[in-house]
Each structure stands twice: as structure tokens, then as C-alpha cells.
């Protein structure tokens, strides 16, 4: 797949996920063979205010490209200025968030509120296209609610405005993350535009990914919650699409992966912030494994890396009966 002039080596894409697809996770996703990774959503306004924390989210140094930086906002000039900053920081692609359902975002007319305001969405895309030379993409939902399914017409408008790819999450804003994603709409969008369409929603297994590609004709699949604590889904989908089925990881492999993720996060964010940040990830890694409750509880109480490592090693030894080395 090519997005504008950017070549994407395979059909597997990591979704933008606030609090999840940070630098550490993007690096891990790459190691698992992901063809394209998105950043967490970044406020264009905060970028233009040179907010340090926001700048930190935009730190792409040392990462393998292509990376799509996702911006959110609703003012065309601010989005254009944010796009220029993101390109200076190394973005190869810029994505506009037109799907975030969070009230705080929607109330400002940003995220999925743009689905209700296609004229403004067009202005945003046009302003960004004029401001930078890298491809602009958009990520949308199917519509605001069941009575207002707009994805097909909206996607056409985005393409006309200059968007070079469209990621479609098959849910309405009103659904948030509940209910099943509607893949039929992804198929309709694919039939309506000539830029690449990236399908998203409810990809939990390699078979799901194969099925979405087949049923919708989309150009790539975007993995969301399925990869939380489970980056192996990425390598399994990659291999599945090449015709090979890999088994899910064994519990010990998951613990080793969790420790690696911890190490990387601490290297990037420091010990205290890193350990805090990793709590939810570690809980995800442990999901579905036996007798994890007391270990999770202990992880949530500590601020020390060594302690987390000791807890996970203890779990591996006591419950899994395996030594870590």
C-alpha cells in the first residue's frame, strides 16, 4: 500500500490509542512487524503553545518510519501550524482525529464532532495539505449515531479535500467502544473512494483480520484493543496474511514480553512515571492467565521497577513453575 508517496510495507497498522500507542509500544509493535504505526492523539493547539508534555508525546527520535502522527483540533490554522511542527519532529504522515468520542473533546467541536461538520473538516484537511508536503490522512467513525451514518459521503469529501488515506472505525460516536463494529460500512467507503482505506474495529484474532480484508476489500487492517498486552497479535496477523498460522504466546513468553515493555518504558519515561504507566499494560499482559490477582495487586502498589520485576519473576516461578532465565 502507498499513502501518497509513502510506501507501507504490509497491511498491518497499529491504531492511535491515547495512553497505549506511546513510543515504547510503537517500538514493540515495529519489532512485531507492524507496517505502519500511529501516535497517540496530540492536541494541535497544545503543540503550537509549545507545551512540553505534548512535545514529549511527539518524540519520534530513533523510531523506524513510517509513523503517522495524529493531531486533534478544530481550527484549520492551528491544525496547519501543528502539522508543520509534527513534520519538523519527523512525521512522515499526518492524521486528523475525526473519531474521538470523549465529551471533553467533542464539546470543543473536535474528534467525532467533525463528522457533524463536514465543511469544517474539509477546511482542516485543505489547510494541512497546503501547510506541509507529507500526506494527510483522516480517521473517522461511521457517523454520530445510528440515524446519522455519514461515512461514505464524508470520506468522499475528505478525499476531495486532499486526504490520501481514510481509516474507518466501524462504530458510531454514540457507540463509543460498545456493540459490534459495522464492517459493511468499511466496504462501502472502500467502494466510494480511490485512496487507500484502512479498516478498524473488533480485530481480536488473525482470522478476524483476514476476514475484514476479504469482506470489505480494505487496503490494510488497523489493530486497536486487540493488541493491548498482546503485541503478538501483530506478528500473528502479519504471518497469517502470508499464509502461516502462529499460535498465541505461552504465559512465560508473555511475562518476558511484559518485562521488556517495562524496561523500555522506564528507559523512555523514567522509573516512577514508567512504573505507573505500565500498571495497566501489565494487567493486560496478565489477563487470561491463572492466579494473577495477588500479583496484580502487588504491582499496583509499588513504584519501584525492581519490585515489579521481582513480582513477575515470582509469578513465573510460583505459578507457572518456570525460571525466567
Ligand X SMILES: Cc1cc2nc3c(=O)[nH]c(=O)nc-3n(C[C@H](O)[C@H](O)[C@H](O)COP(=O)(O)O)c2cc1C
Least CB distance to ligand X at residue 23 (A): 14
Strand (E) or helix (H) holding 216: helix 206-216
Interface with ligand X in residues 54-73 (CB under 6 A): 70
Contact between 206 and 249 under an 8 Å Cβ cutoff? The reply is no
Least CB distance to ligand X at residue 204 (A): 8
User: Of 198 and 316, which CB lies nearer to ligand X in the complex structure?
Assistant: 198
**Of 92-100, 121-129, 231-239, 267-275: span binding ligand X (CB under 6 A):** 92-100
Confirm or reject binding of residue 137 to ligand X (CB under 6 A). no
Contact string (CB under 6 A) for ligand X, positions 211-250, x = contact? -------------xxx------------------------
User: Of 18 and 120, which CB lies nearer to ligand X in the complex structure?
Assistant: 18
Cell numbers linked to 221: 487492517
Contact between 223 and 203 under an 8 Å Cβ cutoff? The reply is yes
Least CB distance to ligand X at residue 97 (A): 5
Interface with ligand X in residues 189-208 (CB under 6 A): 200-203
Contact between 209 and 237 under an 8 Å Cβ cutoff? The reply is yes
Q: What is the DSSP letter of 128?
A: H
How far apart CA 170 and CA 182 sit, in angstroms, is: 5
Least CB distance to ligand X at residue 232 (A): 15
**In the block, residue with C-alpha cell 462501502:** 188
Closest-approach residue to ligand X (CB): 224
Confirm or reject binding of residue 20 to ligand X (CB under 6 A). yes
When binding is defined by CB under 6 A, the residue of 34, 58, 100, 114 that contacts ligand X is 100
- The closest of 97, 132, 131 to 112, measured between CA atoms, is 97
When binding is defined by CB under 6 A, the residue of 28, 41, 195, 264 that contacts ligand X is 41
User: Of 7 and 176, which CB lies nearer to ligand X in the complex structure?
Assistant: 176
Least CB distance to ligand X at residue 242 (A): 21
Count of CB atoms within 10 A of residue 180's CB? 10
Give residues with Cβ within 8 angstroms of 68, minimum separation 6.
16, 36, 37, 38, 39, 91, 92, 93, 94, 95, 137
Which residues are known catalytic residues? 100
User: Of 141 and 305, which CB lies nearer to ligand X in the complex structure?
Assistant: 141
Q: What is the DSSP letter of 143?
A: E
Torsion of CA 103, 137, 71, 27, to 10 degrees: 110
By CB under 6 A, name the binding residues for ligand X: 15-20, 40-41, 70, 97, 99-100, 139, 169, 177, 181, 200-203, 224-226
Amino acid at each position: 500500500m502507498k499513502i501518497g508517496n509513502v510506501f507501507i510495507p504490509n497491511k498491518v497498522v497499529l491504531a492511535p490509542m491515547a495512553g497505549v500507542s506511546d513510543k515504547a509500544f510503537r517500538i514493540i509493535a515495529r519489532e512485531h512487524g507492524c507496517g505502519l504505526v500511529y501516535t497517540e492523539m496530540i492536541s494541535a493547539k497544545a503543540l503550537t503553545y509549545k507545551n512540553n508534555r505534548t512535545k514529549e508525546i511527539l518524540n519520534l527520535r530513533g523510531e523506524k518510519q513510517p509513523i503517522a502522527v495524529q493531531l486533534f483540533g478544530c481550527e484549520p490554522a492551528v491544525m496547519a501550524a501543528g502539522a508543520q511542527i509534527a513534520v519538523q519532529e519527523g512525521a512522515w504522515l499526518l492524521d486528523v482525529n475525526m473519531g474521538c468520542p470523549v465529551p471533553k473533546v467533542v464539546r470543543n467541536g473536535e474528534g467525532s464532532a467533525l463528522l457533524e461538520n463536514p465543511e469544517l473538516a474539509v477546511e482542516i484537511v485543505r489547510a494541512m495539505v497546503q501547510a506541509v508536503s507529507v500526506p494527510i490522512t483522516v480517521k473517522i467513525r461511521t457517523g454520530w449515531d445510528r440515524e446519522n451514518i455519514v461515512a461514505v459521503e464524508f470520506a468522499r469529501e475528505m478525499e476531495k479535500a486532499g486526504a490520501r488515506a481514510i481509516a474507518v472505525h466501524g462504530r458510531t460516536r454514540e457507540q463509543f467502544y460498545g456493540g459490534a463494529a459495522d464492517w459493511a460500512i468499511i466496504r462501502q467507503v472502500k467502494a466510494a473512494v480511490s485512496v487507500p482505506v484502512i479498516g478498524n474495529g473488533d480485530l481480536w484474532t488473525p482470522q478476524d483480520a483476514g476476514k475484514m480484508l476479504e469482506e470489505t476489500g480494505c487496503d490494510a487492517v488497523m489493530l486497536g484493543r486487540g493488541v493491548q498486552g498482546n503485541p503478538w497479535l501483530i506478528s500473528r496477523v502479519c504471518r497469517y496474511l502470508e499464509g502461516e498460522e502462529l499460535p498465541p504466546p505461552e504465559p512465560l513468553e508473555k511475562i518476558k514480553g511484559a518485562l521488556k515493555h517495562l524496561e523500555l518504558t522506564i528507559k523512555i519515561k523514567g522509573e516512577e512515571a514508567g512504573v505507573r504507566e505500565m500498571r495497566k499494560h501489565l494487567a493486560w499482559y496478565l489477563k487470561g492467565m491463572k492466579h494473577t490477582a495477588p500479583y496484580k495487586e502487588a504491582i499496583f502498589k509499588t513504584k519501584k521497577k525492581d519490585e515489579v520485576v521481582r513480582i513477575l519473576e515470582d509469578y513465573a516461578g510460583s505459578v507457572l513453575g518456570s525460571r525466567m532465565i
